[in-house]
Amino acid sequence: MSMKRIALLTSGGDAPGMNAAIRAVTRRALDRDWEVFGVERGYQGLMQSSFIPLNARDVGGIIQLGGTVLGSARAPEFATEAGRRTALHHLAKRGIDALIVIGGNGSQAGNHALSSMGFPTVGIASTIDNDLYGSEPTIGVDTALNVTIESIDRLRTTGSSHHRAHLVQTMGRDHGFLALMAGIAGGAEVVVIPEAEVEPDEIASRLRAAYLRGKTHSIVVVSEGCKNNAQAIAHHFEQHEDEIGFVVRVTILGHVVRGAAPTARDRLIATRMGVAAVDALADGQHGILVGYEGDEICRTPLEIVASNQKKLNLDWIQLARILAQ
Ligand code: ATP
């Protein structure tokens, strides 16, 4: 396909490394003498025709920044055919030949829907939740994980001084990857994720056992999508504090884990994916997601991405328990 003009957007939750991907897409495309337009605020901006031309200098000084310089938004109208027709109308009016969508699960579902209407699109796998089929990991996961374990480490330090247990709630929506990996890397005593819920009674008895084994502190990592979130568990503990041994404190890690500067790993995978997305279009490929697998770039049809769920390897849960003894 001879490409002249492409647009790119970031959609859904922002992820550290999105800017590195924006920079790589732009400069790789400019290198091929294509024109590049950034779409502001994701699909919302696409439906409002918010295009800005990007040159090499416009994407300078952003590789080290978290978030996305193009902005992002939730855009429910894009899930309707009428919304997507509006988007297609604006793309045609600007003479855009193809669109690159940097985002997670929902964003790639939207991308698939647009691609199914006949417009050439390529996705780039980006979400801190790591819940997108077709990429292991996605852009942003490494940074979010590192920020999460840094917080856990600090809580462990203060916890040891006071014989406290800290209940830490991590991000991750319905997917427990971030909580489980942070729990293992942070040496948590108990990990609670939507894929493997643990009742408050059971958490309390595991904390009690850890206390009796002579631990000076305990960390419980809870994923935000759990039936019993950190607040619900803490409420239960308040009524049973003397049975646990430790005094329990709650920390909710919300959006702070999103805003960090991307790690080297996230910058590198974002850069490689950005380049690969442009190269895929140059090869005449579209309707695909560019992801990462075993340290290599991979391409997966958006149809497969949209119809599959990434599964968490639950062997890790057992391992987390063994290592907490
Ligand atoms: P993250 O998981 O990191 O938050 P995400 O891409 O999964 O990112 P969502 O809020 O789920 O974030 O989706 C972003 C946008 O994608 C939505 O606001 C909507 O515009 C579009 N979208 C989501 N699902 C669909 C769908 N089934 N069809 C069309 N568009 C969709």
Domain locations along the chain: 5-140+262-306, 141-258
Q: Give this prediction's pTM.
A: 0.94
Contact of 287 with 266, CB cutoff 8 Å: no
Q: Ligand 1: distance of its center to the CA of 182 in Å?
A: 25
List the one residue out of 159, 218, 213 whose CA is nearest residue 191: 218
Q: Ligand 1: distance of its center to the CA of 179 in Å?
A: 22
Torsion from C-alpha of 144, 146, 147, 150, nearest 10 degrees: 160
Which band of pLDDT confidence, cut at 50, 70 and 90, is reported for residue 34? very high
Which band of pLDDT confidence, cut at 50, 70 and 90, is reported for residue 126? very high
Higher pLDDT, residue 228 or 7: 7
Q: Ligand 1: distance of its center to the CA of 253 in Å?
A: 22
Higher pLDDT, residue 20 or 212: 20
Query: What is the Cα–Cα distance from 143 to 266, expressed in whole angstroms?
Result: 7
Within 8 A by CB and 6+ apart from 316, the residues are: 180, 181, 184
Residue owning the nearest CA to atom 27 of ligand 1: 109
Q: Mean pLDDT over residues 178-194, rounded?
A: 94
Is 295 known to be catalytic?
Answer: no
Give the number of the atom of ligand 1 that is nearest the alpha carbon of residue 43.
20
| pLDDT tens sequence across 68-114 | 999 999 899 999 999 999 999 999 999 999 999 999 999 999 999 99
Higher pLDDT, residue 197 or 243: 197
Residue 132: CA count within 13 A, CB half-sphere = 35
CA distances from 21 to 130, 269, 305 (A): 17, 8, 20
User: For residue 260, how many other CB atoms are within 10 A of its CB?
Assistant: 19
Contact of 104 with 126, CB cutoff 8 Å: yes
| pLDDT tens sequence across 280-316 | 999 999 999 999 999 999 999 999 999 999 988 889 9
| pLDDT tens sequence across 225-255 | 999 888 888 888 888 777 788 888 899 998 8
Q: What is the pLDDT of residue 185?
A: 94
Q: What is the pLDDT of residue 2?
A: 67
Q: Is pLDDT at 64 greater than 90 in this prediction?
A: yes
| pLDDT tens sequence across 140-165 | 999 999 999 999 999 988 877 777 88
Q: What is the pLDDT of residue 173?
A: 81
Q: Ligand 1: distance of its center to the CA of 42 in Å?
A: 10
Query: What is the Cα–Cα distance from 317 to 325, expressed in whole angstroms?
Result: 13
Left, alpha or beta for 118 (phi > 0: left; psi -120 to 50: alpha)? left
Give the number of the atom of ligand 1 that is nearest the alpha carbon of residue 14.
3
Catalytic residue among 129, 131, 142, 266: 129
List the one residue out of 143, 148, 141, 110 whose CA is nearest residue 289: 110
Give me the architecture of the 5-140+262-306 domain, per CATH. 3-Layer(aba) Sandwich (3.40)
**CATH homologous superfamily of 141-258:** Phosphofructokinase domain (3.40.50.460)
Residue owning the nearest CA to atom 10 of ligand 1: 12
Q: What is the pLDDT of residue 122?
A: 98
Burial class (CB in 10 A: 0-12, 13-18, 19+), 251: middle
Handedness of CA 302, 304, 309, 311 (dihedral sign): negative
Give the number of the atom of ligand 1 that is nearest the alpha carbon of residue 15.
3
Q: What is the pLDDT of residue 240?
A: 78
Q: Mean pLDDT over residues 2-9, rounded?
A: 90
Token pair, residue 89, equals 């109308």
Q: Is pLDDT at 6 greater than 80 in this prediction?
A: yes
Assign 3-class secondary structure to the chain: CCCCEEEEEECCCCCCCHHHHHHHHHHHHHHCCCEEEEECCHHHHHHCCCEEECCCHHHCCCCCCCCCCCCCCCCHHHHCHHHHHHHHHHHHHCCCCEEEEEECHHHHHHHHHHHHCCCCEEEEEECCCCCCCCCECCECHHHHHHHHHHHHHHHHHHHHHHCEEEEEEECCCCCCHHHHHHHHHCCCCEEEECCECCCHHHHHHHHHHHHHCCCCCEEEEEECCCCCCHHHHHHHHHHCHHHHCCEEEEEECCHHHCCCCCCHHHHHHHHHHHHHHHHHHHCCCCCEEEEEECCEEEEEEHHHHHCCCCCCCCHHHHHHHHHCC
Are domains 5-140+262-306 and 141-258 of this chain identical in fold?
Answer: yes
